[in-house]
Amino acid sequence: MSTEFPYENRIFDPAETMPRADLHALQLQRLRETVARAGQVPFYASLFKKEGITPESIKTLDDLRRLPFTNKSDMRDNYPLGLCAVPRAELARIHGSSGTTGMPTFVGYTRNDLDMWAGLCARFLVAGGLRPEHTVQVSFGYGLFTGGFGLHYGIERVGAAIIPAASGNTSRQIMLMRDLQPEVLICTPSYALNIAEVCRSMGLDPRELSLKFAHFGGEMWTEDMRAQIERELDILAFNNYGLSEIIGPGVSGECAARSGMHLQEDHFLVECLDPDTLEPVEDYAYGELVITALTREAMPMIRYRTRDIAALDPCPCACGRTSRRMGRVVGRTDDMLIIRGVNVFPSQIEEALLAVEGAAPHYLIEVNRPNNLDEVSVKVEVRPEFFSDKMSEMQALRDRIDRKIQAYTGIHVTVELVAPKTIERSVGKAVRVVDNRKLRS
Ligand code: DLL
- Ligand 1 pocket: which of 243, 247, 326 to mutate (most atoms within 8 A of CB): 243
Q: Kindly state which CATH superfamily the domain 2-18+108-332 is placed in.
A: ANL, N-terminal domain (3.40.50.12780)
Which regions of the chain carry the CATH code 3.30.300.30? 337-440
**What separation in Å is there between the alpha carbon of 219 and the centre of ligand 1?**
5
Pocket lining: 104 vs ligand 1, CB cutoff 6 Å: no
Q: Ligand 1 pocket, 218 CB below 6 A?
A: yes
Q: Does domain 337-440 have CATH number 3.30.300.30?
A: yes
Task: Judge contact between 136 and 163, C-beta under 8 A.
Answer: yes
* Per-residue pLDDT, 437: 82
CB 337 less than 6 A from any atom of ligand 1: no
Q: Please choose, from the candidates 227, 234, 299, the residue with its C-alpha nearest in 3D space to the C-alpha of residue 44.
A: 299
Half-sphere CA count of 432, side-chain side, radius 13 A: 23
Query: Mean pLDDT by 10-residue block, N- to C-terminus, for the chain (441 residues)?
Result: 63 98 98 98 98 97 98 95 98 86 87 98 98 98 96 98 97 98 98 97 98 97 96 98 98 96 98 97 98 98 98 96 98 87 91 95 93 90 95 96 96 95 94 81 43
pTM to 2 decimal places: 0.95
12: three-class secondary structure by DSSP: coil
Label residue 166 left, alpha or beta by phi (over 0 means left) and psi (-120 to 50 means alpha): left
Distance between Cα 329 and ligand 1 center (Å):
9
Q: If you ran DSSP here, which 8-state letter would residue 207 be given?
A: G
Q: What is the pLDDT, as a whole number, of residue 441?
A: 43
Domain with CATH 3.40.50.12780 in the chain: 2-18+108-332
DSSP state of 71: -
CA–centroid distance, 436 to ligand 1, in Å, is: 23
Q: Judging by beta carbons within 10 Å of its beta carbon (0-12, 13-18, 19+), is residue 132 exposed, middle or buried?
A: exposed
Ligand 1 atom closest to residue 145's alpha carbon, by position in its atom list: 10
In the chain, the amino acid numbered 16 is E
Instruction: Write down the pLDDT at residue 72.
Output: 93
| pLDDT of res. 405 | 96
Atom of ligand 1 nearest to the CA of 306: 16
Q: Indicate whether residue 241 lines ligand 1 (CB < 6 A).
A: yes
